[in-house]
Amino acid sequence: MKQWTTKGGQVISRLSHGMYNCFLVSCRGRHLLVDACRKGSWKNLCRELDEQGVSGGSLAGLVLTHTHYDHAENAAAIKERYNTKIIVHQKEADYVRKGENPVIHGTLPLTGWISDRLSHLYLSRFFRYRPVDGDLTIADRYDLSPLGFQGHLLATPGHSPGSLSVILENEIAIVGDALFGVFRGSVIPPFAADEKLMVASWGNLLKTGCFVYLPAHGTARDREALERQYEKYKRKYERF
């Protein structure tokens, strides 16, 4: 299990399930789960959480970086098993309450062709998930200290309308699908609701000072990689 530790002693564990990562932030016996992965990974996810000592009394919350099915399918089950809070951006609270996906569009020629023809059909009919109410809805920023952690939630829209990132001590950012770690030399996700807004969110992530970015797909990206991609895509949109 890959782990990172902040200077303040917070431990971030990557709970990897094939193509999907979720993350557990642990500090002084308290835990914060970031995303809930696919339904098919439920047993493995519970096993990993048990191994990390997570219990109903110690899981402070589940942060949904956004409400696409591959991040939220286990949210209702997590809430039931651990009696914890579901934390979601206010722009996506209705999606998770209905078990629906925000619409996305392709950022690349191939994914653009796919999303134009199939996205609405598949996301609305085939990728529904068990609905659950959000307990804590976030706007632009939320201080995590009341939950027992050093850091904050930051709105990073673009991939979806209410994407959130978890910023820990301005060192490590857990970013959901705000960026990808799959393609060599690239951080751009293959799908986004608003690519220009997503690139602006990259700029806000860089302003935090974080030097490690942990995406839900692929491997960690460093600050230099994000800076290169930010400058490239910012110039692209400055031409219009």
Per the DSSP assignment, residues forming a β-bridge with 215 are 176
Looking at per-residue pLDDT, the higher value among 125 and 69 belongs to: 69
Question: Residue 218: its pLDDT value, please?
Answer: 95
pLDDT of 233 > 90? The answer is: yes
Cα-based angle 105, 42, 32 (whole degrees, multiple of 5): 80
What domain range is 182 assigned to?
Answer: 3-238
Give the chain's largest Cα–Cα span: 52
Most confident region among 80-94, 117-131, 177-191 by mean pLDDT: 80-94
Confidence label for 1 from pLDDT (cuts 50, 70 and 90): confident
* The pLDDT value given to residue 113: 46
Question: In this structure, are strands 105-106 and 191-192 parallel, antiparallel, or unpaired?
Answer: antiparallel
Q: For residue range 65-75, what is the model confidence (pLDDT) as tens digits? A: 999 999 999 99
List, for residues 41-95, the tens digit of each pLDDT value: 999 999 999 999 999 899 999 999 999 999 999 999 999 999 999 999 999 999 9
Res 143: pLDDT:
98
Mean pLDDT of the chain: 91
CATH of the domain at 196: 3.60.15.10
Q: For residue 97, count CB atoms less than 10 angstroms from its CB and return exposed for 0-12, middle for 13-18, buried for 19 or more.
A: middle
Q: Is the pTM of this model over 0.85?
A: yes
Q: How far is CA 52 from CA 4, 14, 209, in A?
A: 14, 11, 29
pLDDT of residue 102: 86
Q: Find residue 155's DSSP bridge partners.
A: 164
* Measured distance CA(102)–CA(104) in Å, rounded: 7
- Report the domain count for the chain: 1
For residue 60, CA distances in Å to 71, 72, 207 come to 18, 17, 27
Question: What pLDDT, on a 0 to 100 scale, did the predictor assign at position 115?
Answer: 58
Q: Is 160 helix (H, G, I), strand (E, B) or coil?
A: coil
More confident residue, 17 or 72: 72
Q: Average pLDDT for residues 174-195, to the nearest whole number?
A: 92
Q: What is the pLDDT of residues 216-226, one digit of tens each?
A: 999 999 999 99
